Chains A and B, each alone.
Chain A
């Protein structure tokens, strides 16, 4: 991927709600490593939101990082905590989980935190249409100082996102592709 895009990923600002669409794990690796590096430079904790610890560890293995990462905090957030039995993926449950994290990471000595979301794991809980509704609820920017990259592996799930893909792109305030990234008036390629 172009260095300008990886630089954009590294310095993504707090409150950014970004979507990253990729089709091979090497693209995901480059983006995640850059995101991780940006977190280190800014003294931000890095979390991966996944459906299970197995999925979290599989991802780290696929991007050739081992868990626990020796140098830096990469912690696991469990996706089931964002959902309720009655509502599925739930905006209120998400806020309840994410907001207190800021104080927790402060106590650990970090200045903030950023999350990398294995968005395909959402499909373990609900449909693509419901995920779209949830992403829309989250808005273009977060109301609290958290950056998140929602990483959609388009190759893995055989077109399951296709029907909602354009709306998913619109639901996010920042966009990361293999040759183009940007938010607001800033576009890098």
Chain B
């Protein structure tokens, strides 16, 4: 697997960590989706998509690196964020990995905390972490601090009613 991002203009390809991707303006896509169907519906649609994508990413990693530690996977995903233009991501797990998880993205590509943008970055992380920690997690809160240009999120174990 390549450990970076590769552009092959002759073939019209972009590969991120070896996997083919396409560069699109996600901010514009999210804004348009919000306009079409409203913030709440778009948030749910993107949440559903990104949560699933995150879980699949975790499954792929775990099947190819069955002995990898959680920290190794998180480092790879942080690199994935940086290379794909999401921003510079920091993940803080509790000591036993069973409490709330705090994620910060400095210089985030998306700075909005409503509608589909709310789900775009952190639902993917929620899916990834659910997959590697083998338990269902939920987004609890998302905030943006404009003064430091940091997007923050808390992910917590799912509370079963």
Contact = CB atoms under 8 A, between A and B. Distances in A.
Interface of A: 21-23, 154-155, 159, 162, 165-166, 169, 177-180, 189
- Enumerate the 3 nearest inter-chain pairs by beta-carbon distance, A residue then B residue, closest first: A177-B37, A179-B36, A154-B40
A159 B39 CA distance: 12
A162 B40 contact: yes
Contacts of B133: none
Contacts of A159: 40
Interface of B: 35-41, 44-45, 48
Contacts, number: 37
Contacts of B40: 21, 23, 154-155, 159, 162, 165
Given A165-B44, A166-B44, A166-B48, A154 B36 contact: no
Instruction: Tell me which of B35, B36, B38, B41 has the highest count of chain A C-beta atoms within 10 A of its own C-beta.
Output: B41
Contacts of A22: 38
6 contacts: A154-B41, A159-B40, A166-B45, A166-B48, A179-B35, A180-B36
Nearest to A178: B38
A186 to B, nearest CB: 16
A159 B124 CA distance: 20
B37 A21 contact: yes
A180 B37 contact: yes
Contact of A162 (B36, B38, B44): B44
